[in-house]
Structures are given as C-alpha cells and as structure tokens.
Amino acid sequence: MNKHPNDSFRNVSPGALKLKAACAYLGGLSEITLRRLIKRGLIKRNHSLRHVLIAKSELDRFLAN
C-alpha cells in the first residue's frame, strides 16, 4: 500500500477559514454581513494574506458573545 506523504494531514480541520466557509460556519451569514462585522472590528481577520482568512477561534469567540 503506497501512502502519499500528505495523507496524514488530510483529516486535520483547518485552523482558519476563507470568507465563504466562515459564513457557513456562522450559520449561513451573508458575505456582506461578515465583511461589515470585520469592518466594525467585531471579528478580526488575518491581514498577512491576500485572501480574507478568519481563525476558527475568532469565530467561536464571536459566537460566544
């Protein structure tokens, strides 16, 4: 049985989500609403990349409040 080198990482859930995935994680929120929450500072995004990435821990913090 040949194993691919990255097989062990395929079952790991990502620590950050792109905008659409974050919307789904928050229960089907629209992208515009999520962008407004980011602009208001209620949700913090990762600024180091080209795409909007939001940590799952940040989304969990927002849901807990």
- What pLDDT score was predicted for residue 61? 96
2-59 per-position pLDDT tens digit: 666 655 555 556 789 999 999 999 999 999 999 999 999 999 999 887 889 999 999 9
Choosing among 3.40.140.10, 1.10.1660.10, 3.30.200.20, 3.40.47.10, the CATH entry for 14-64 is 1.10.1660.10
Question: Taking the C-alpha atoms of 34, 38, 40 and 43 in order, what is their torsion angle to the nearest 10 degrees?
Answer: 100
pTM of the complete model? 0.76
Q: Give the C-alpha separation, 7 to 41, whole Å.
A: 37
